[in-house]
Amino acid sequence: MDGKEPVVATTANLDTLVFTTEEALREYIALYVKIPFVSRLGLLAQTLDFVADAAPGVKEILAVGKVCHEARTGLHDVVVVDAESSGHFVSQVSTPRTIRSLAQVGMLREQTDWMIAMLSDPSVTATVVVTTPEESPVDETIGLVSAIRERANVDVPAVVVNRMPAVAPTSGDDIAPRVVSTLRRRHAIAAGEVGRLAGGLAAGTDVVVAPVLRTNDAVETVVALAASLDLEFGEAL
């Protein structure tokens, strides 16, 4: 927000940004309406706060617009967004199209036009959905991917299946046969759900499997997950 966002340099070449709807609204006004904000005081500021909280679609368009604006500045190589849950996310990314259908001319129409163009370009924007190998999450994921493509026209090149059970070890003196049988059954059920997921997705969406990681060390978890995804994608991460 005019260089005042809470940007945190997490590590070399990696920044994180957290923003609120109010901050995004104030930045939008400052950039396009040219009204500076120095505090929350005043009738206009209070009115804008109310609009951001109450008007349908305002929060969604501000959230999407802020992300698109950051990508459009060219200051970042890649912008990665930890998005909302499935239902909220579809509403957010489809909001520019909804707003454009209501605003036929003017500044708002122009703003939604470039956002839609950015979101619809598969060379610029992509959504990666994360799920687990279970019946309900798989059903939800199949519907989510379809909704993202149809309602928002955003590319979904991959679905990551998290917490995939490992193949059961061979029974031995230190492993009870009943434990081995249970582990094999869990893996078989999970593998069946992964197959059902792959069959339920349209062409062009790959299924990437990430294993269960049994470590409490954050660095070890990241390294192990990166190695697993490296093998799945077939390229260095």
Strand 158-164 versus strand 206-211 pairing type: parallel
Predicted model pTM: 0.76
Q: Are 150 and 127 in contact (CB under 8 A)?
A: no
Q: Kindly report the number of other CB atoms within 10 A of residue 169's CB atom.
A: 12
Instruction: Note the pLDDT of residue 143.
Output: 95
Terminal-residue alpha carbon distance, the chain: 31
Instruction: Note the pLDDT of residue 236.
Output: 41
Which pLDDT tens digits describe the chain residue by residue (237 residues)?
344 455 565 667 888 888 776 677 677 666 665 555 544 445 445 545 544 554 556 677 778 888 888 899 888 899 999 887 777 889 889 988 887 877 666 667 778 889 999 999 999 999 999 999 999 999 999 999 999 999 999 999 999 999 999 887 766 656 778 888 888 899 999 999 999 999 999 999 999 998 887 777 777 777 877 787 777 776 543
Query: How open is the CA angle 219-220-223, to the nearest 5 degrees?
Result: 85
DSSP state of 124: T
Closest Cα to residue 154, out of 163, 162, 144?
144
- CB neighbours of 218 closer than 8 A, spacing ≥ 6? none
Using CA atoms, how far apart are residues 44 and 52, in angstroms rounded to an integer?
12
Instruction: Note the pLDDT of residue 148.
Output: 94
Using CA atoms, how far apart are residues 212 and 163, in angstroms rounded to an integer?
4
Helix (H, G, I), strand (E, B) or coil at 118: helix
Instruction: Note the pLDDT of residue 218.
Output: 77
